[in-house]
Chains A and B, each alone.
Chain A
């Protein structure tokens, strides 16, 4: 697993991909930090929360080539023929992308140091948002890896990852619209308004329950919920398992 991790991690820096991803992240983080600094008040928690919005751009960039490129070049055959488990392949690749994210995060660490040097505060709420940031990064990278496993075209992989992440980020909005639509439909077919509204609210709540952003919102206030982190971890593991199954299926279909 370490060999795959090392190979994948270094490959980010043997091609422009890693530098471009870090550069975009640096620019965005720098913009948010500068905007706060110029206003005389820096909340690292807010900065990290804002940066989570850019998962939708950065994650597809760093995951699109993880498996799709191997398939395109035909080097994926090595995973099936060398004495390495597919689990190690999946874990090594996801850890490499995760490590790249950690490198990107050094920008925020510099911002924290500057903030403290300028008499600002780095409170427990900021620590909470950083914990959530890394758990979400793991979850979204797993989604991106899965997207990369189902195609041999990097662009398609990036688009699929983008759609996965976008849907996840918009779950609350989707929940609201679905709830409203269901309420309207129920009312239209003659269900009384309170029952229709109750059904709409239930559907809205059910969809919103899946929203990882809503689940982890209290971390920024210093309220840490283990169940929210467990949820993010589980979703990440689910996508890793799906990736593993895609590779496993291919291994046994090679003949």
Chain B
């Protein structure tokens, strides 16, 4: 009997040992199969089986970009290098809308675009590899992207890819993203690298103006290279200047600039001027700038447009109102009704130059007025000057096709970073500005890719619902009422069943 038991125990031990080996072996085998299948799935079908269902296709390239990529020859190789290690989790980082989009560039381009992430601190040779002449100082571009094509480079910082609330930034020094321009920025950078610039614009700086970031983006997207022209004693307008821009100067031009710009106009130069009437420049009459513009029959008045017509006012504010684009400029944007604020009145110059024809571009209602204000924003002498229709922008040109042309805006709502950051790059005003630039610089040469800003989701609740009392109610219901009821039930259940 004992011998039989021993045999049975031995038999059971052997069986248990075999079962153990089988269990471990099968688990290891299954784990290996799972790992292998997942690696293959990820590599082969991972991209194809990824679908962008986001409302504005934030993470997919649009048909415009797809068409551009298709138009490139098969042997094109555009290399995008992120100068950092790819973050494992991009959510809530500045790369949130960029890295997934770049993945889609790779997928759509069929090998024409590659994306790598290389941290120069870990691989210093990447700097020399991308930029042997150190023209872009890439060592200082950590966390940015470099686009390389045939040895030419473009550097893109993540913030270049976003519109943000400028007022919020000024008050908090942090970004509140309002729109995603990542595709706009990357596609146009690639377009410029592969096709080159068609023209060159110079933006005058040093006249206490604010930023030119967005107008530069817009010009670049239209294949116009942009450079700055700083105020100096030796101010001259370069010969390759296709368009000279004064964007929001808060002080007048110098005598030297007046001479140089007059010469530029006489050579058939193209001018884009945008000013406004704010507390920063309330005392500025732009005497020399007006002397220059008077050659083209335009005058910037020292008066603020005050819209009395409530149907034109925006939010009930007379200095923030609609203006109407009139013929032949009415079809410059999808809507002739455009947004105007803190505008100076633009008028015909007093002594007309017969060589130029000036035309009104943007009109107020018939019931508008103009007032003069001091630096504190108060109306001088409470004086409201004649109720009439005023111009917020004018255009001047000669009969000669190659002659000088100018658009003069009395508002910065078409060119300022503040406005464009708030309303995005596909706002009607921006669309209008693009048309103006096409009119000034030969339209045939501008083949930029205009990709609309993708609006970022807003999770804001309705103001009437987001109240303190309702918040308190939420606190009570969700953090107190429901958990306490559940705990009470748990206690009851426990007390009733503890002896079972």
Q: Which residues from chain A sit less than 8 Å from chain B, CB to CB?
A: 13-16, 19-20, 22-24, 26-27, 29-31, 33-34, 36-38, 40-43, 49, 107, 110-111, 114-115, 117-121, 123-125, 128, 172, 175, 194, 197-198, 201, 208, 211, 213-214, 217-218, 220-227, 230-231, 234-235, 237-238, 241-242, 245-246, 248-249, 252-253, 255
B488 to chain A, nearest CB (A): 9
A203 to chain B, nearest CB (A): 13
Knowing A19-B490, A223-B50, the reply to whether A253 touches B19 (Cβ < 8 A) is yes
- Cβ of B228 within 8 Å of any chain A Cβ, yes or no, is no
Contact A224 B51, beta carbon cutoff 8 Å: yes
Contact B461 A118, beta carbon cutoff 8 Å: yes
Knowing A19-B486, A224-B51, the reply to whether A172 touches B38 (Cβ < 8 A) is no
Q: Which of B52, B91, B125, B491 has the most CB of A within 10 A?
A: B91
Q: Specify which chain A residues have a CB less than 8 angstroms from the CB of B15 in the assembled complex.
A: 252-253
Report the bound CA distance from A125 to B16 in whole Å. Answer: 50
A-B contact pairs, 30 of them (CB 8 A): A26-B483, A26-B486, A27-B479, A30-B477, A30-B482, A34-B475, A37-B466, A38-B471, A38-B474, A41-B461, A107-B478, A107-B482, A114-B474, A119-B462, A120-B461, A123-B55, A125-B54, A172-B88, A198-B123, A214-B88, A218-B90, A221-B54, A224-B53, A226-B49, A227-B45, A234-B37, A245-B27, A248-B23, A252-B19, A253-B12
Knowing A123-B457, A172-B89, A235-B34, the reply to whether A33 touches B52 (Cβ < 8 A) is no
Q: Specify which chain A residues have a CB less than 8 angstroms from the CB of B37 in the assembled complex.
A: 234
Q: Which of B19, B474, B494 has the most CB of A within 10 A?
A: B474
Report the bound CA distance from A113 to B161 in whole Å. Answer: 34
Contact A234 B50, beta carbon cutoff 8 Å: no
Contact B490 A221, beta carbon cutoff 8 Å: no
Contact A119 B461, beta carbon cutoff 8 Å: yes
Report the bound CA distance from A15 to B493 in whole Å. Answer: 6
Interface size on B, residues (CB 8 A): 65
Q: Specify which chain B residues have a CB less than 8 angstroms from the CB of A226 in the assembled complex.
A: 45, 49-51
Q: Mark B21-48, 1 if CB is under 8 A from A, else 0.
A: 0010011001100100110011001100
Knowing A42-B461, A119-B462, A253-B19, the reply to whether A23 touches B55 (Cβ < 8 A) is no
Counting residue pairs across A and B whose Cβ atoms lie within 8 Å, the total is 202
Which residue of A29, A34, A125, A198 is within 8 Å of B457 (Cβ)? Answer: A125
Q: Which residue of the partner chain B has the closest CB to A242?
A: B27
Q: Specify which chain A residues have a CB less than 8 angstroms from the CB of B387 in the assembled complex.
A: none
Q: Which of B88, B89, B474 has the most CB of A within 10 A?
A: B88
Contact B465 A119, beta carbon cutoff 8 Å: yes
A210 to chain B, nearest CB (A): 9
- Cβ of B460 within 8 Å of any chain A Cβ, yes or no, is yes
Q: Which residue of the partner chain B has the closest CB to A29?
A: B478
A112 to chain B, nearest CB (A): 12
Question: Dominant SS at the A interface?
Answer: helix
Contact A30 B478, beta carbon cutoff 8 Å: yes
A244 to chain B, nearest CB (A): 9
Q: Specify which chain B residues have a CB less than 8 angstroms from the CB of A208 in the assembled complex.
A: 88
- Interface residues in B117-132 (C-beta closer than 8 Å to A): 122-125
Contact A241 B27, beta carbon cutoff 8 Å: yes
Q: Specify which chain B residues have a CB less than 8 angstroms from the CB of A220 in the assembled complex.
A: 91
Q: Specify which chain B residues have a CB less than 8 angstroms from the CB of A120 in the assembled complex.
A: 459-462
Q: Specify which chain B residues have a CB less than 8 angstroms from the CB of A31 in the assembled complex.
A: 478-479
Q: What 10 A-B pairs have minimum CB-CB distances, sorted nearest first?
A: A222-B54, A30-B478, A119-B462, A19-B490, A118-B465, A16-B490, A23-B486, A226-B49, A214-B88, A245-B23
Contact B46 A225, beta carbon cutoff 8 Å: yes
Q: Which residue of the partner chain B has the closest CB to A173?
A: B88
Knowing A227-B45, A230-B38, A248-B23, the reply to whether A222 touches B55 (Cβ < 8 A) is yes
- Apart from A34-B479, A37-B471, A252-B19, what 20 extra A-B contacts exist at CB < 8 Å? A16-B494, A27-B479, A30-B475, A30-B477, A33-B478, A38-B471, A40-B460, A107-B478, A110-B478, A172-B88, A194-B123, A194-B125, A197-B122, A198-B123, A223-B52, A224-B51, A226-B45, A238-B27, A241-B26, A252-B16
